[in-house]
């Protein structure tokens, strides 16, 4: 229940910030173009707070925080007094209307840059992208790993941490090949990177179940795994049996604990089979019977899952990375990161239509709420990064040429620029109905996916 409330609160805060940024873009440019704004609303439905400013605009905070709007004076919507006709949106020239409509998505991109700028000023603790092996039979199997290797570029694009690598690889789903450039972790800086061209024609995976990094066959360097249990998941087999965080693994079915990988292999091979797990709790041995729950893994195999996570030894100092820049450099880093998010998001939309990405990967408000809660729980800088990601996607989605979105309005206005005549009202109405149906269908699929992941 507490997790639900935390996720809901983080979701409302995140969505409120992003909607405010988007609608303020419309509002600010509309005012500069001489359009009278009658209402600036964050949320829909019944108002829980309202105030009329000296500019005559009514500012509203509404009960349903799933959107917002800027109501402008418009003859197509209401009767407009003759003395106010010059301030009506529909009386403005087409380029002014284009500027007003496009200002919302542009504001989302600007906000993403701002959020990332603050994030880089504060500094983001991170881990270098180092591998210590590859999986046989995988696209990455050709990489010879005799010592830990650091990934420095994906398709000539520089990467600094695992997040960069993951983001870059996602954009190559469905491509025929991808290149990785690597150097030894202990390099002096003089060695030239070794670049491998990986054949990814058979690279298929479910992003909901597996990272593109591990699906490619890269074995991420991990610090030593200790036998101490760090986390016991709610509703898992271990939790139901009485295992607690802080317990130390001693033996399983009478065989002394050797290492975590061995332990995981035994648990996975014991779906719905009781296991006698001996742990040490407060210095005393305790034997508990645990029955791993059967789950389907990324390869479609049924494996046992116990619902515990081990304690990791501290990361070595030479593996740690602090992404922190100065006042000017942070701006450059924020712009570059925003551009990367934009390009990857556009690629993903394109691959959705080509079939390289399944519609099962669409996420709705429940997934976004979980992401908001998780990022806020980890720390403020990670929440800023999450806001930037969602803001970029909100900007891109609003630019899609669906008539109910900003992109649909822009499509009509650009047709007007080319033809010299406004698109007929009947044609616009048909477009709006089609766009609304498409949007509702996409929202329905996203919500279905959200519920199926619960």
Q: Which residues are catalytic?
A: 23
Do residues 312 and 231 make contact, with C-beta atoms less than 8 angstroms apart? no
Q: What is the CA radius of gyration of the chain?
A: 26
Tokens of 330: 């942070």
Burial of 199 (0-12, 13-18, 19+ CB in 10 A): exposed
Of 152, 157, 160, the C-alpha closest to 184 is 152
Do residues 229 and 244 make contact, with C-beta atoms less than 8 angstroms apart? yes
Do residues 135 and 319 make contact, with C-beta atoms less than 8 angstroms apart? no
Do residues 105 and 406 make contact, with C-beta atoms less than 8 angstroms apart? yes
Helix/strand/coil (H, E, C) string of the chain?
CHHHHHHHHHHHHHHHHHHHHHHHHHHHHHHHCCCCEEEEEEEEEEEEEEEECCCCCEEEEEEEEEEEEEEECCCCCCCCCHHHHHHCHHHCCHHHHHHHHHHHHHHHHHHHHHHHHHHHHHCEEEECCEEEEECCCCHHHHCCCCCCEEEEEECCEECCCHHHHHHHHHCCCCCCEEEEEEEECCCCCCCCCEEEEEECCCCCCCCCCCCHHHHCCEEECCCCEEEEEEEECCCCHHHHHCCCCCCEEEEECCEECCCHHHHHHHHHCCCCCCEEEEEEECCEEEEEEECCEEEECCCCCEEEECCEEEEECCCCHHHEEEECCCHHHHHHHHHHHHHHHHHHHHHHHHHHHHCCCCHHHCCCHHHHHHHHHHHHHHCHHHHHHHHHHHHHHHHHHHCCCCCCCHHHHHHHHHHHHHHCCCCCHHHHHHHHHHHHHHHHHHHHHHHHHHHHHC
> How many Å apart are CA 24 and CA 1, to the nearest integer?
34
Region class of 242: left (phi > 0), else alpha (psi between -120 and 50), else beta: left
């Amino acid at each position: 229940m507490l997790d639900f409330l935390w996720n809901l609160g983080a979701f409302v805060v995140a969505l409120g910030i992003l909607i405010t940024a988007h609608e303020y873009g419309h509002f600010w440019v509309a005012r500069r173009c001489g359009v009278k704004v009658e209402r600036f609303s964050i949320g829909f439905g019944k108002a829980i707070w309202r105030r009329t400013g000296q500019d005559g605009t009514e500012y509203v905070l509404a009960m349903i925080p799933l959107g917002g709007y800027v109501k402008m004076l418009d003859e197509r919507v209401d009767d407009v007094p003759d003395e106010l006709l010059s301030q009506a949106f529909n009386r403005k020239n087409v380029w002014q209307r284009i500027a007003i409509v496009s200002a919302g998505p542009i504001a989302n991109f600007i906000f993403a840059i701002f959020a990332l700028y603050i994030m880089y000023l504060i500094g983001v603790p991170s881990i270098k992208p180092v591998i210590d092996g590859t999986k046989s039979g995988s696209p990455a199997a050709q990489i010879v790993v005799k010592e830990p290797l650091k990934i420095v570029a994906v398709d000539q694009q520089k990467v600094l941490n695992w997040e960069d690598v993951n983001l870059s690889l996602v954009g190559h789903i469905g491509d025929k090949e991808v290149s990785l450039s690597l150097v030894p972790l202990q390099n002096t800086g003089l060695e030239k990177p070794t670049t491998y061209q990986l054949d990814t024609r058979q690279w298929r995976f479910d992003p909901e179940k597996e990272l593109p990094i591990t699906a490619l066959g890269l074995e991420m360097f991990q610090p030593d795994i200790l036998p101490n249990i760090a986390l016991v998941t709610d509703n898992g087999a271990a939790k139901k049996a009485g295992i607690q965080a802080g317990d130390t693994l001693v033996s399983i079915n009478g065989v002394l604990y050797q290492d975590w990988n061995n332990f995981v292999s035994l648990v996975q091979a014991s779906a719905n089979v009781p296991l006698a797990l001996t742990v040490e709790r407060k210095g005393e041995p305790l034997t508990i019977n645990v029955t791993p729950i059967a789950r389907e893994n990324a390869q479609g195999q049924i494996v046992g899952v116990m619902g515990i996570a081990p304690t990791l030894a501290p990361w070595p100092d030479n593996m740690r990375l602090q992404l922190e820049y100065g006042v000017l450099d942070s701006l450059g880093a924020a712009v570059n990161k925003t551009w990367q998010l934009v390009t990857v998001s556009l690629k993903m939309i394109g691959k959705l239509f080509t079939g390289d990405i399944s519609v099962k990967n669409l996420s709705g408000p429940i997934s976004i709420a979980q992401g908001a809660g998780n990022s806020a729980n980890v720390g403020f800088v990670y929440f800023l990064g999450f806001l930037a990601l969602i803001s970029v996607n909100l900007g891109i989605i609003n630019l899609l040429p669906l008539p109910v979105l900003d992109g649909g309005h822009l499509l009509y206005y650009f047709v007007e620029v080319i033809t010299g005549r406004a698109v007929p009202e009947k044609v616009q109405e048909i477009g709006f109905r089609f766009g609304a149906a498409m949007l509702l269908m996409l929202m329905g699929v996203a919500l279905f996916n959200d519920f199926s992941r619960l």
